[in-house]
Structures are given as structure tokens and as C-alpha cells.
């Protein structure tokens, strides 16, 4: 039948080819550099000026886009210029908020003035981006002062931001 084998030789972790942290950082920098690059994009989001993105990255990082591209439907999109490549989105949010949202999908970092954090939080809620919601809440928490606590609380209530309103009430 079968001979007994030493189970210690079985690999239980995936083989990693990245042994150098610099190589990993290079990959991350390349992905970040691809954001808003009109030479390599295959999809454009129109919010006033165009934002050049890649369908693959959007599908990998955001369930909303994954579903949208899989079913060739455009949920909550105001007008469609060319279904395969350009979407013009609602002007409910500013260009800088949409751009920060899309850049977050590429980098995992928020590149936006803190005064726009509530708008980004609302956009994150609309796209069901749990990690971005948490990160926005942390930014809001760090920027709360005695002079803006009431404004921040009212904004949290307005956006139905349960996490932020809890943070603000503890302030």
C-alpha cells in the first residue's frame, strides 16, 4: 500500500518569491504610479476632469466595481459615455473626493485634506468600503477639537456615520 512519509516535509505555506522588501516596495510603487495614468488605463471615470484607472485593480479592490464589471451594469451612475471605457458619475461628490477614493483603492492611503474626510466617508459608505470607512473615521477622530466637535457630531449624524458619532461622543 502506502509507505509512511515524514509530514514535516510538506509545505504548509505558499512559496514566496519575494525575498527582498525593496522588490515588494517597487511593486507597490508601480501600482501607485499606474493610478491616473492616461497612457496605461483601460477605464476612465469622468468627474469634471477625467480620472484614469484600470478595471482589474478596481475589480480586485472594490466589490462594487467587481459586480458592475461582471454584470455590465452601471449602478448609481448618472450617464454612460462609452460602456467599455468611460463613466460620468454623479456630481454629488467633488472631483478631489472621487480621486481620493480611487487612489485609496490603488494605495490603501488617503490623500485628501482632513476637511473633506466626511465627504469621503459618505462615498465609502455608498461603495460599502469597510476599510476606508474605518480609515476616514480615524482621520475624523484625529481632527476633532473643542471648536469643531459640534460640527463634527452633526456631520456624523448627517452621514449616518455610526463609527464617527461614537468617536465624537467620547471626545
Number of separate helices (H) and strands (E) present in the chain:
8, 4
What 3-state DSSP class applies to 81?
strand
- Domains in the chain with CATH codes: 21-169 (3.30.710.10)
Pairing of strands 86-88, 79-82: antiparallel
Question: How far apart are the two ends of the chain, measured CA to CA in Å?
Answer: 69
Q: Is the pLDDT of residue 71 over 90?
A: no
Torsion, CA 37, CA 39, CA 41, CA 46, rounded to 10: 70
The answer to whether 157 touches 167, Cβ cutoff 8 Å, is no
84-124 pLDDT, tens per residue? 588 888 889 999 999 999 999 999 999 999 989 999 999 99
pLDDT tens per residue across span 118-144: 999 999 999 999 999 999 989 988 988
Cα–Cα distance, 12 to 43 (Å, whole number): 38
The arithmetic mean of pLDDT across residues 75-86, rounded, is 52
For 145, residues 6+ apart whose C-beta sits below 8 A from its C-beta are none
Q: Among residues 49, 52, 123, which one has the least CA distance to residue 92? A: 123
C-alpha cell at 123: 462615498
Amino acid at each position: 500500500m502506502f509507505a509512511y512519509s515524514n509530514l514535516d516535509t510538506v509545505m504548509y505555506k505558499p512559496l514566496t518569491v519575494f525575498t527582498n522588501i525593496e522588490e515588494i516596495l517597487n511593486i507597490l510603487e508601480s501600482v501607485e504610479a499606474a493610478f491616473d495614468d492616461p497612457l496605461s488605463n483601460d477605464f476612465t471615470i469622468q468627474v469634471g476632469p477625467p480620472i484614469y484607472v484600470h478595471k482589474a485593480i478596481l475589480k480586485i479592490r472594490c466589490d462594487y466595481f467587481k459586480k458592475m464589471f461582471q454584470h455590465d451594469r452601471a449602478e448609481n451612475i448618472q450617464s454612460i459615455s462609452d460602456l467599455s471605457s468611460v463613466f460620468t458619475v454623479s456630481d454629488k461628490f467633488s472631483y478631489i473626493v472621487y480621486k481620493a477614493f480611487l487612489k485609496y483603492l490603488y494605495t490603501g492611503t488617503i490623500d485628501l485634506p482632513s476637511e473633506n474626510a466626511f465627504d469621503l466617508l459618505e462615498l465609502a459608505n455608498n461603495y460599502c468600503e469597510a476599510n476606508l470607512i474605518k480609515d476616514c473615521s480615524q482621520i475624523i477622530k484625529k481632527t476633532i477639537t473643542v471648536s469643531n466637535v459640534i460640527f463634527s457630531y452633526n456631520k456624523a449624524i448627517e452621514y449616518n456615520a455610526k463609527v464617527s458619532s461614537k468617536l465624537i461622543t467620547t471626545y
